[in-house]
Amino acid sequence: MKIAFIGDIVGRPGRDMVKAHLAKLRESEGLDFVIANYENASHGFGLTSKNCNELFSYGVDVMTGGNHSWDKKDIVPLFESHEILRPHNYPEGVAGTGCKVYEVEGEKLAVVNLMGHYGMPYCDNAFRCAEVTVGELEAAGVKNIFIDFHAEATSEKRGMLMLLEERVSAIIGTHTHVSTDDFQIVNATAYLTDIGLSGCRDNVIGMDKKVPLQQFLTGMKGHFDIPKKCKKILQIAILEIEKGKTTAAYKLKIFDDGRIFRSDAWMED
């Protein structure tokens, strides 16, 4: 199977890039399944029902979340009506789930959403949750397992790879909005510390520079906003998976001026 992941769609600029490119990418890259992170999709904070339906109409199959999953009141009923996940290590009793299994090309694919600890809301232990969840999926015969690990600390993301390599198909990080240059395949597990945002690329992590610079210069906080005009980017990781093992992976950076950059994951010996 060939699956794709779009991380941190930030506001209308990010949604516009998904609209402009995803349908064409599904055809040109032969994509069987598309996962996208929604937690910044509605003006940078959370997901509205309107924007949820919009993104699914562009060709997304399932969406993952993070610490901003709860920022819009629309989200709770969406967990029941749409293929929407939130971090699986939220405590028991919280609405929604962070793990679902799908049929893709005659095989089962599990999509798991986890959230880290450093700088994040209080949650259950992500590493213990990962061990238990992956063990349950293995016991159920699910070999293809994709994890969106939404975390601030690069060490936590790298640690998740050390914990789960060989057992899952891919671990791709989200949350920082800044792409990292370490796409690799380790013992058949694809790994990328952070895929980076899809949205505005000429500002501060997709947000207008005014408030972040005010905060850096004076310590005075304000409301982050999405620029009305900006230069845009779509960042998408594409994985080829056979019987749970990632055999090849690459990332595309697509700019709104027509430029496309491809970087292939390196294979560790």
- Residues known to be catalytic: 68
Helix/strand number for the chain, H first, E second: 6, 14
In 3D space, the residue among 239, 8, 15, 214 whose CA is nearest the CA of residue 144 turns out to be 239
C-alpha count within 13 angstroms, C-beta hemisphere, residue 253: 16
Cα gap 114→85, rounded to integer Å: 10
Per the listing, tokens 């056979």 go with 242
- What would the two tokens of residue 48 be? 């509205």
Cα gap 31→22, rounded to integer Å: 10
Q: Are 192 and 172 in contact (CB under 8 A)?
A: yes
| Cα torsion 208, 72, 177, 57: sign | negative
Query: What is 208-221 written as a DSSP string?
Result: -SHHHHHHHHH---
